[in-house]
Amino acid sequence: MRSMSDTLGWSRSASPALAGYRVDPAGSKVLLRRERVSSRTFRWRIPLDRPPPIALEIALTLGILLAAGGIGAVRGGQYETFVERHGTLSDIVARHLGFGIDKVTISGITHLDEPRILSLAGITAKNSLPFFDVTLARGRLEADPLVKQARVRKLYPDQIVIDIVERTPYAVWQKDGDLRAIGIDGGPIDQVRDARYIGLPFVVGDAANLRVKEFTSLLGSLEELRPRVEAGVLVGQRRWNIHLKSGIDIKLPEASPQVAIATLLKLERQSRILERDVLSVDLRAPGRVFVRLSQESADAWAAAHAPKKAGQP
């Protein structure tokens, strides 16, 4: 019986080649020599005796020329002018591939208009759908005081959908000739440029926007006279004057203005005082009413109540 080592051809020592050693086959004696194992497995070598391909030379030359031209265009401002006219290169490529923005669907607007929405969102004919930033567009829309919430979506290949939730205008406020639509809290939400807010309550004066709910409560007390009211003027940030469309001013007291309004309603129902040629009705003194007449009415009243001379009828 032979040993297992002789049968399989194993020697008493393990094969040193597996451990990074080399066996010298020339002699019967086993010689061991340590070899360093390199960590780099592959190395690209370019033969020095062969010139590079002509295509590579052309590509490198074109790349250098394009890079130099691009740097010159950026420094000279031509690139910015090109982008301003036509959009970025990525947008141009996307548009030619059929991914331009051809349709914009807008919903939820009452006081805003479509051109303003497009301007706020930054949508132009130069944009492309893949490179349009919906997050940036939503942020720009919601930065507008009239926009409470905005949602912007892409629908490939060429459509953007915008859903708007507007803040509700509550009144119009005038200060120093500047007209602004305000919310129920008095905060300005839009500049008045046309007649879209014409049906809202109108307040005038410093800090009148912060007391607009107080004015609308007075409007409710005016009952049938409410349609004749043009504006509420806050005087000295203390009390209100009701300015009628006929030009008459109703001067209300600082305390208990609803009581003064009840007196005005009684006078109007009994004697039609507001149909007369008067400039103002002063209700600031409790229990008293002072009426200021126009010059013509004042002269006529003075003539009618002048003391009569002897012998005159």
Task: Write down the domain spans for the chain.
Answer: 54-86, 98-166, 171-304
- Judge residue 291's burial from the number of C-beta atoms within 10 Å of its C-beta, 0-12 exposed, 13-18 middle, 19 or more buried: middle
Q: Which residues share a beta bridge with 175? A: 178
What is the model's pLDDT at position 156? 93
Can you give the pLDDT at residue 193? Answer: 85
pLDDT value, residue 280: 94
The confidence score (pLDDT) of residue 15 equals 44
Contacts of 143 (CB under 8 A, 6+ apart): 120
What's the fold here for domain 171-304? Rossmann fold (3.40.50)
How far apart are the C-alpha atoms of 198 and 84, rounded to whole Å?
A: 39
Q: What confidence score (pLDDT) does residue 195 get?
A: 86
Task: Report the alpha-carbon distance of residue 162 to residue 150 in Å, rounded.
Answer: 7
CA dist., res. 201 & res. 170, Å (int): 7
pLDDT of residue 112: 87
Each residue's pLDDT expressed in tens, for the chain with a length of 313 residues: 444 444 444 444 444 444 444 444 454 444 444 444 444 444 444 454 555 566 655 666 556 555 555 555 455 556 577 557 767 888 888 888 999 999 999 999 988 889 999 999 999 988 999 999 999 999 999 999 889 999 999 999 999 999 999 999 999 999 998 999 999 999 999 889 888 898 999 999 999 999 999 999 999 999 999 999 999 999 999 999 999 999 999 999 999 999 999 999 999 999 999 988 889 999 999 989 999 887 776 566 566 656 655 555 5
Q: How many CB atoms lie within 10 A of CB 260?
A: 26
Rounding to the nearest 10 degrees, give the CA dihedral for residues 24, 30, 36, 40: 60
pLDDT of 215:
96
Q: Angle 24-25-31 (CA atoms, 0-180°, nearest 5)?
A: 30
One CATH from 2.40.50.140, 3.40.50.620, 3.20.20.70, 3.10.20.310 for 98-166 = 3.10.20.310
